[in-house]
Amino acid sequence: MSCSSEYSRLCRLINASLRSYTESEPIQLTKEKEKHLLIVLSQVSREIQRCGDELECDSGKPLVLNPVIGGHCFPAPELYSECHNCFLEILSILVGLLNMKSQYIQHLVGNILVGISNFVSKSGRNFGDFLHLLCVCIEVVISNILSSSSASLSDPNNDGLGLISVLQPRLVNANWHVVTCLSRVLHNILKYLKQNCSSELAEIYLHSVSYGLSNVPWDLLDKIHSGQAYDMQISSNGNASLLRNICSPEAWFLFLGSLLQLFCSLVEQSGLVEEIHCSLDEHLLLDKITCLIPKILNWCFSVKWDSGNACIQQYLRHKMLMLMTRLTLQVHWECSTLVLWLQLLRRHFQDLLVQPISAYDSGFDDSLEGSPFLASIADGVHKIHTRHLQRQAIFLFLKCSFSLVGFGKETDIRCVCASSNSCLTHELKSGQECSGKRKGLSEISEWLQDHLPLEMFVDYGIYSEKCSIFASSFMQLYVDEDDILFEVLLQLLALPFPLEQVDWNDRCNAIHEAKGDIIYHVLNIFNPIHLFHLFLAKLHYDHSVLLDYLISKDIGVNCVQYLLRYHLSCF
């Protein structure tokens, strides 16, 4: 049986079983109808799983990578014509069911979409086409919700295959929960690929989703907070209650949570895929997500959550910091991006940056320490433990600051546009390097002033002791979460400062002479040799713990890199 006939079989199954539930406008869902629909969805899910198992038994079918058209991964026209009608029909029905206000129905429909994706991936072709259509669905639904006009979607460059014109009228009633469910579907597909499939399919996934998400009208989401969406929707249909449902805090939180979860997985997967077969710029996805960071921060934190939803705020901060941390390990930094991120960290995470590093409540359960959901009740006040957020915020801050200090030297930062005038380019680059270094040093100095002000010490002995205590607390902060521990140690080991401190003959006068010398201050706190000994002390010099680090699948490589670089730097 050919691939096209398999898709037709799948289309007939979805049509016969589920179309009747999407024909009434609006869908009236009674408890009896919900129960019956859940049974039908379970049967459809099992049938798709059975078809996938049968297809998997046919091991003779080779994997066919989608050809490249115009720099992007698309199916060839002849392949597209065989299956696109089936995919459009399937998605229009299933996405319509996602519009129902039942989390159980949404969950099962999401599972069916993941099952269809698995089925298509096993067929050996059209996998990228199906993923692209899922992204187009997200694009159409967001535009339908937030825009009274389809002008932004009519650009031939964005709709070269005519998909939007077909999907838009079919998804006109889709709400915000549909976008959330589709984001979860994309995330679950990626999880399945990571566990069960080849790297070739993962590459197809990244290419298709990268291009698909780049066309999503993210700028329209800004209307939610500017008030334009409210005015536009009320004036166009007079239904203010519908808009409140679309933009309710609950719906908005679910969307943001699913979007951040998807972006975190996409960034992580981008780091795992070593080589890209298509001509698509391999940094398209990372660059797009990086550019969206300021917008996402605004979407997350412009909503004022009440005290009962404090966990929501903490969860979004946790996911936001996780996404930004993963991006720092993947992207090629620009000088302007580093400066912008430092501003964003100061604006949205200043409380974490100035929170005392030595603060530690021994009353917390160590087995849960670092969880974004760990909380205690004290004097009737619900408090969220944020030590893990502090680790991530400080790491990001130091990463950006030290990258600026080492601009043009230790880091690869594309800060200067290409110019035919090499002398002018050199002058511009030198000026930006100098400005970046000053900005980085200024940020580090301001941060250290909040924790260990140099001016308050008049005796070198006390100053040296305080530096050691601060460094010990700093090390303890990250030893508690070893997945980021070696990233921090590697970052500090790459400081563009000499390992040797200035040889002060009169140490009593040294601190007075060094006031204002931030490099001197940093060297006394983050001396790599001192940090290495503190690291061993925090492990209680237990070689078995160090061995566990070295053989760990997650952090073993970073541990080896740190030990080797430390050895090369010091010996």
Q: Which DSSP state fits 28?
A: -
The yes-or-no verdict on residue 317 having pLDDT over 80 is yes
Per-domain residue ranges for the chain? 3-18+40-56+64-218, 345-570
Q: How confident is the model at residue 449 (pLDDT cuts 50, 70, 90)?
A: confident
Give the number of residues written for the chain. 571
- Return the higher-pLDDT residue of 537 and 74: 537
pTM: 0.81
**Model pLDDT, residue 282:** 54
Mean residue pLDDT across the chain: 74
Question: Which among 39, 35, 34, 40 is positioned nearest to 18, based on CA atoms?
Answer: 40
- Return the higher-pLDDT residue of 49 and 147: 49
Q: pLDDT over 90 for what percent of the chain?
A: 20
Q: How confident is the model at residue 386 (pLDDT cuts 50, 70, 90)?
A: confident
Question: Which among 172, 124, 170 is positioned nearest to 4, based on CA atoms?
Answer: 124
The yes-or-no verdict on residue 260 having pLDDT over 50 is yes
Q: What are φ and ψ of residue 412, in 5° steps?
A: -100, 95
Distance in Å from the first CA to the final CA of the chain = 66
Lowest mean pLDDT across 10-14, 261-265, 360-364: 360-364
The amino acid at residue 7 is Y
Lowest mean pLDDT across 120-124, 225-229, 259-263: 225-229
What integer is the mean pLDDT of 249-275?
A: 83
What integer is the mean pLDDT of 220-235?
A: 53
The yes-or-no verdict on residue 286 having pLDDT over 50 is yes
User: Are residues 171 and 165 in contact, defined by beta-carbon separation less than 8 angstroms?
Assistant: no
The yes-or-no verdict on residue 330 having pLDDT over 50 is yes
User: Are residues 327 and 289 in contact, defined by beta-carbon separation less than 8 angstroms?
Assistant: yes
Lowest mean pLDDT across 26-30, 136-140, 299-303, 446-450: 26-30
Q: pLDDT over 70 for what percent of the chain?
A: 67
Task: Give the ranges where 452-504 is alpha helix by DSSP (H).
Answer: 460-479, 482-493
Integer Cα distance of 187 and 285 in angstroms: 15
Q: What are the tokens at 528? A: 């790599």
**Model pLDDT, residue 516:** 57
- Return the higher-pLDDT residue of 111 and 445: 111
Residues 474-516 pLDDT 10s: 999 998 787 889 989 988 887 755 545 544 445 555 555 555 5
The yes-or-no verdict on residue 272 having pLDDT over 90 is no
| Sequence-distant (≥ 6) Cβ neighbours of residue 416 within 8 angstroms | 425, 428, 429, 432
**Model pLDDT, residue 251:** 80
Give how far the C-alpha of residue 333 lies from the chain's centroid of Cα atoms, to the nearest Å.
16
User: Are residues 88 and 166 in contact, defined by beta-carbon separation less than 8 angstroms?
Assistant: yes
Residues 64-107 pLDDT 10s: 434 333 333 444 444 445 577 788 888 888 988 888 888 899 99
Q: How confident is the model at residue 407 (pLDDT cuts 50, 70, 90)?
A: low
What integer is the mean pLDDT of 525-537?
A: 88
Q: How confident is the model at residue 372 (pLDDT cuts 50, 70, 90)?
A: low
**Model pLDDT, residue 344:** 95
The yes-or-no verdict on residue 309 having pLDDT over 70 is no
The yes-or-no verdict on residue 537 having pLDDT over 70 is yes
Q: How confident is the model at residue 116 (pLDDT cuts 50, 70, 90)?
A: very high
Q: How confident is the model at residue 458 (pLDDT cuts 50, 70, 90)?
A: low
Residues 184-193 pLDDT 10s: 999 999 998 8
- Return the higher-pLDDT residue of 242 and 204: 204
Integer Cα distance of 323 and 295 in angstroms: 13
Q: What are the tokens at 74? A: 């698309």
> Across 37-46, 115-124, 137-146, 215-224, which has the greatest mean pLDDT?
37-46
- Return the higher-pLDDT residue of 198 and 247: 198
**Model pLDDT, residue 434:** 62
Q: What are the tokens at 10? A: 């799948």
Radius of gyration of the chain (CA): 27
Question: Which among 45, 158, 170 is positioned nearest to 105, based on CA atoms?
Answer: 45
60-71 burial by CB neighbour count: b if 16+ within 10 A, else e?
A: eeeebbbeebee
Integer Cα distance of 59 and 29 in angstroms: 43
The yes-or-no verdict on residue 38 having pLDDT over 80 is yes
